[in-house]
Amino acid sequence: MALPIGEILDRKFKIVQVLGEGGMGTVYKAELLDRPGNYCAVKELLISPSTSEEERKSAIERFNKEIDLLFGLKHPRIPSFMLSFQERGNYYFVMEFVPGQSLDRKLEENKGPLNEEDVIKWMMQVCEALSYIHSRNPPIILR
């Protein structure tokens, strides 16, 4: 279940919007309380109360592995990792917020084929980021 809008986390972040929800967690847009008007993305690990202890440990391990991977990434096409914390038994990490819209949203708004030049530009940016993570030692492979 998503956090309520206005919720304060770690005495630093005010939840302002749900950006997305998935099987592993929820991502929020949050305002930095010490810098009003500045935003970050907060990912919350969701673990169902019915989850077995083994599955819970595995989910936390995967979440921490994601944090470890993000921590070492420094690239202009990849949002930067800021910090991680636990609060009220939940796990969170905070990243740079990149304003914009999803490709799904762009397709909905466009109501037709996208401009070829824009698509080529976006794909080149994706390729830059993929090239960077694949060149890491060991390489990071997205599934």
What DSSP line would sit under 107-132, residue for residue?
A: HHHH-SPPPHHHHHHHHHHHHHHHHH
Is this model's pTM higher than 0.85 or not? Answer: yes
Model confidence pLDDT, tens digit, residues 49-94 = 888 999 999 999 999 998 998 888 999 999 999 999 999 889 999 9
